[in-house]
Structure 1
Amino acid sequence: MVTRFPMSAEEFMNIVKEELNDSPDLIQKVFQIKGQSIIVQYIAYQIKKDRLERDLLEVITSSNNRWTNEDLINKIPISSTVQEEKMDKIIQQMIHGSVSIYIEGEKNVVLFALQNQNHRSLNRAETESLVFGPQVSFTESLITNLNVVRWRLDTEDLVVEKLIVGERIQSEVRIVYLKSLANNENVETMRQRIKDLKVAEVEDTSVLGQLIEDSSSTVFPQLIFTELPDRFCTSISRGRIGVMVDKSPTMLIGPMNLFSFFESTEDLYMRWNMGTFIRSLRFIAMALSIILTPMYVAALTFHYEIIPSTLLVSLGQSRATVPFPPVLEALLLEMLIELLREAGARLPTKVGQTMGIVGGIVLGQAAVEAGFTSNILIIIIALSALSSFTAPSYLMGTAIRLIRFPMILLAGAWGIIGIVFALSFLVIHLLKQKSLGRPYLSPIYPFQWNDFNDSFFRVPFPKNTGRSKYLMTKDQDRYSKAKASERKDVDPT
């Protein structure tokens, strides 16, 4: 909307009222001082009323002199002050918690930031839990989240860029990285993809991630979403790019490869051999979760010869009363597990835990006794479900559970040949994926032996002197290998 200052007090008030759709929360006050009209306008629930009365209105009304915009800026003890002449910017600032003051005859409006922000305090993380390490999580307040990041990354090298996304409802986005470490191409790719967005609104960081990711057709996440400040800051200190969205407690990190979704900052807090064991266990669990149930279906449908004879007898007795073919039996139980998981997630915490445990036991036992399924398949399905839950990333765990269903169908149609076909298709699909333009299957393809430490296992810190070549950081050395191994013990003599 094009407006011209100066204008009359009544005209200005009418424009603001019209722009805010006659909001009942819009407060408009006119003060007459020395024949001068001063219009104070704000949205009631968006500002701190005690500061409005003490720092602003009391100062204005106690003066016997005529006011100018320069006087307002210099004499009122509020630091967050801007002058604006565009009406859309004035309205936007008022919506975000600013008080607008217009002195009749002046060429612009003075805006004082008095936001009344009510946000939850820093609490323990709910969706990502750690045994070792910091337990605090991000909140919905961008300012609070920035304070936490600044506190953890206490260096002048930290860069925080501000962008505005959304054509109808605007959201503030911050890009966070280390200037001397992050690859310029990665930073520019992230920045450009966010700037090029032409959307009405961005509801959350997870929505922003889906808008800027390389491929929207795959079930595999290409960017990590986290609510843990330590994981966010650790990724940035390694050379990755972080993204924060106002009003979202989830942060975005990229670029990431497939194996990054099975890493946890807890691996760093443990000793290197323990961290390697736990990380390897997650990869084994992923493979078991994908292949166990399809192999059961393939073996019972086409390949009885691969089952040991002693197990085949008990398996035959277990399935003697089951009226369904193995593929349908497996699909029914997989759907049952997914229903229990979804119900447990949606119910209140205590009720959800009870529902998951009791529901799984009761329904599983009832299904076996009723002859709908075999007890061996119950064990296999439970093991597959537990394996998928070991992934630190919720999205990756969900993706693993999802790809089991087409693999079960292919195993039921063509047996082991169907499983091999599904795995081959899966590998080809992953080879084509990228994250911010970087290969998704690195360091396997392209092969980088030095990056295996950041993907599959951990080595002792004194030997981990180099940075990931996958990220192409500006500085490839963490520290000197010779100095890291040097010992300076006190001479007892």
Structure 2
Amino acid sequence: MFKWLNGKKSKEGSKAHSLNIDELKEQIKSGLNVGSDLVFRNLKRDGQRLVFCFMSSLTDKTTLDDFVIEPIQSNIETEWESEAIAQILPISDISAVNQLTEVVEGINEGKVYIYPEGQPFGLLANVGSTVERGLEKAETESLVYGPKIAFTESLIGNVNILRHNIKDLNLCMEDFTVGKRSKTNGKIVYIKDIADENNVNAFREKISQLEIDHVPGSTVLGQLIENNSWSVFPQLATTELPDRITIALMSGKVVVLMDRSPDALYGPTPFFTFFESTEDVYMRWNMGMSLRILRLFAALLSVLLTPAYVAVLTYHYEVIPSPLLVSLGQSRSNVPFPPVFEALLLEFFIELLREAGARLPTKVGQTMGIVGGIVIGQAAVDAGFTSNILIIIIALSALGSFTTPSYLMGTAIRMIRFPIIISAGIWGGIGIMVSFCFFIIHLLKLNTLGVPYLSPIYPFRWKDLGHSFFRLPPQYLSKRPLTNHTVDDERFSPNKVSKKDVDE
């Protein structure tokens, strides 16, 4: 039942523990370097001693008392031998160890080490307690339609949610540990007969090659394993919505879950993936397609609207209609700054308000955003710092960036506005085109797990447009996206799908 280890030194030089309890205690204390929360509980029967070693801060006391100590004390006929004790403990997660490093690592994970004196090995039983929050509504990704449940910081809980969503026997979960000091556990999740093995191997290799002390969460892991860390555009997506992960897995993507992280990382995720919402699936196809196109148009508007204002007022007055030119001149008559400085100043104010609203408590943050925007905007106009028209343009640009479902992509869009505004102030319309072309070239050079970032536009795959840029009626989406290189590329057989009247 168990694989016993011998008492020799391991390849890493870890030493097998002594068979004397007093010396064993000293070695464990030395290995853990801890104080009062390291507890030793001793039992004695017929001259033989037995010790329980655990961390009080990591152990569930009720489980320890009811399922470990009580069964051993009540079974007076059972010999105090490691194998016999393992047979009577009603705990599923139990292993036999005799290497000091394994003992110390197990105790540090919340397990209790049980060692009967005179035995060549002891037992590690999992009685750890975890600090978890209950299932709650998603905070960072608001939805009108679809499930509202969000992931939590518990890896086991998140796996439970996915297992309930996908009852496919081919759903695979591979364990990994990242961080030389923190040793954070995680899982690579994919559907075996759908996901491309190259994508799975890409995650495996990138994670296994990491040499770092600590990885705080899946968003940081995504930054560590992406191909171009200098880019402002995210190459792997994160979400707190299990339903989005379910859709991603069914389309052939690979997911990474990490313990103590409420976000799931998944890929490959081309550029247009960040403008998709799960609501697009739950709404009628024409409504979902309209909203998706609206988000893309809003993002383009957010990037180009303010630079266009700066370029027109600096170099291209001739493109402004005469009636608008008069009102624009009156609005700017009291503004002492050039358009580029005026635009950068207001953009900075908007970002300041957004960051302050995000960091303050929810109710206070909402009030701060509304009142601060109105007060500062009106005061800036009255003081002659800016014009009314620019206030409207900046507000529209901000709204355009907020329509993006992905917070990471929305932030990237807001960041690239600043260099384009500066280029518009220096070179006018030519500066806008040069900057915009530079970002397009940058996007063309990016890839996500080997998939081109602008797919399916480049390389052009018209069959995938219905999965990304547009959303077609369900009966026309019988194939999975070609971009993901899925093994089983058929979602359903279109020949077997027929619509019948109710009377039939």
Q: Given the alignment of the two structures, is residue 43 of structure 1 paired with residue 55 of structure 2, yes or no?
A: yes
Structure 1 stretches of 5 or more lacking a match?
Answer: none
- What amino acid is aligned across from residue 366 of structure 2 in structure 1? Q
Residue 399 of structure 1 pairs with residue 412 of structure 2? yes
Q: CA deviation at 1:77?
A: 1.3
CA contact (8 A) 1:30 1:38 kept: yes
Matched, 1:388 2:401: yes
Give the one of 7, 10, 34 matched to 2:46: 34
2:32 is matched with which residue? 20
Does residue 55 in structure 1 map to residue 67 in structure 2? yes
Q: Return the offset for 1:63.
A: 3.7
Task: State which drifts further: 113-122 or 328-337.
Answer: 113-122
Farther-moved stretch of structure 1 (196-205 vs 79-88): 79-88
CA distance in 2, matches of 1:324, 1:489: 68
Indicate the larger mover: 165-174 or 88-97: 88-97
Residue 308 of structure 1 is matched in structure 2 by 321
Encode CA deviations 1:222-245: one digit per residue, 9 max, x unaligned: 011100000011101110000001
Partner amino acid for 1:39?
V
Bigger mean CA offset, 97-106 vs 218-227 = 97-106
Q: Higher mean Cα deviation, 55-64 or 303-312?
A: 55-64
User: For residue 46 of structure 1, what is the amino acid of its counterpart?
Assistant: L
CA distance in 1, matches of 2:474, 2:75: 65
Corresponding residue number in structure 1 for 2:284 = 271
Tell me the amino acid that sits aligned with residue 322 of structure 2.
Answer: S
Partner of 2:304: 291
Instruction: Name the aligned partner's letter for residue 341 of structure 1.
Output: R
Contact kept in structure 2, 1:407 and 1:422, CA below 8 Å? yes
SS of the aligned residue for 2:482 comes to: coil
Alpha-carbon shift at residue 4 of structure 1 (Å) = 2.5
**Inter-partner Cα distance in structure 1 for 2:101 and 2:142:** 43
CA 1:63 to 1:491, structure 2 compared with 1: closer, same or farther past 3 Å? closer
Displacement, 1:96? 1.5
Letter of the structure 2 residue corresponding to residue 36 of structure 1: Q
Task: State the one-letter code of the partner of 2:439.
Answer: L
Asked whether the 8 Å contact 2:346–2:394 carries over to 1, the reply is yes
SS in 2 for 1:167: coil
* Counterpart in the other structure of 1:8: 20
2:179 alignment counterpart: 166
TM-score when scaled to structure 1?
Answer: 0.98
Alignment correspondent of 1:317: 330
Moved more, 24-33 or 2-11: 2-11
Q: Which position in structure 2 is the counterpart of 1:438?
A: 451
Equivalent residue runs for 1:136-151 within 5 Å: 136-151=149-164
Q: Residues of 2 paired with 1:86 and 1:417: CA distance?
A: 69
Out of 469, 487, 492, which is 2:499 matched to? 487
1:73 to partner: Cα distance: 0.9
User: Which of these residues, 186, 189, 193, is aligned with residue 180 of structure 1?
Assistant: 193
Q: Deviations over 1:423-445 (max 9, x none)?
A: 11011100000001110010111
Moved more, 108-117 or 247-256: 108-117
Separation in 2 of the partners of 1:305 and 1:475? 57
Read off the aligned partner of 2:70 and give its amino acid letter: E
Provide the residue aligned with 2:364 in structure 1: 351
Task: State the shift of 1:6 in Å.
Answer: 4.6
User: Can you list the C-alpha shifts for 1:80-135, whole angstroms capped at 9, x where unaligned?
Assistant: 11111222222121122111001122222201111111200000000001000000
Match of 2:26, SS state, is helix
Question: Which residue of structure 2 lines up, in the alignment, with residue 127 of structure 1?
Answer: 140
Q: Secondary structure at the residue paired with 1:252?
A: strand
Corresponding residue number in structure 1 for 2:4: none
Residues 325-361 of structure 1: CA distance to partner in whole angstroms, max 9, x if unpaired?
Answer: 0000000000000000000000000000000000000
- Shift of residue 490 of structure 1? 5.3
The letter for the 2-side match of 1:50 is T
Give yes or no for contact 2:112–2:125 (8 Å, CA) kept in 1.
yes
State the distance in 2 between where 1:146 and 1:491 align. 43
CA distance in 2, matches of 1:298, 1:488: 58
**2:7 aligned partner:** none
- The reply to whether residue 258 of structure 1 matches residue 271 of structure 2 is yes
Aligned to 1:45, the other structure's residue is in SS state: coil
Alignment equivalent of 2:255, drawn from 242, 247, 253: 242
Whichever residue aligns with residue 390 of structure 2, its letter is L
| Residue 130 of structure 2 corresponds to residue 117 of structure 1 | yes
TM-aligned CA deviation for residue 5 of structure 1: 4.2
Paired AA for residue 466 in structure 1: K
Distance 1:61 1:466 in 2: 61
Aligned residues between the structures: 491
Would you say the 8 A contact 1:33–1:64 is kept in 2? no
**Cα separation, 2, equivalents of 1:198 and 1:5:** 29
Contact kept in structure 1, 2:171 and 2:191, CA below 8 Å: yes
Task: Call closer, same or farther: CA 1:22–1:278 in 2, change over 3 Å.
Answer: closer
CA contact (8 A) 1:85 1:108 kept: yes
Q: 1:370 is matched with which residue? A: 383
CA distance in 2, matches of 1:320, 1:175: 60
How much has 1:299 moved relative to structure 2? 0.2
* Distance (Å, rounded) in 2 between the aligned partners of 1:490 and 1:269: 23
Give TM-score scaled by structure 2 length.
0.96
- Cα-Cα RMSD: 1.1
> 1:136, CA displacement in angstroms?
0.5
In 1, the alpha carbon distance for the partners of 2:209 and 2:324 equals 59
Q: CA deviation at 1:36?
A: 1.3
CA contact (8 A) 1:34 1:64 kept: no
**Distance in 1 of aligned mates of 2:314 and 2:376:** 25
Structure 2 residue runs without a partner (length 5+): 1-12
Secondary structure of 2:256 counterpart = strand
Q: SS of the counterpart of 2:174?
A: strand
Structure 1 runs, 4 residues or longer, greater than 4 Å off = none
C-alpha separation in 1, matches of 2:66 and 2:494:
60
State the Cα distance separating 1:64 from its structure 2 match.
Answer: 3.5
Cα displacement (A) at 1:30: 1.7
Distance across 1 between alignment mates of 2:95 and 2:34: 25
Give the C-alpha shift of residue 34 in structure 1: 1.7
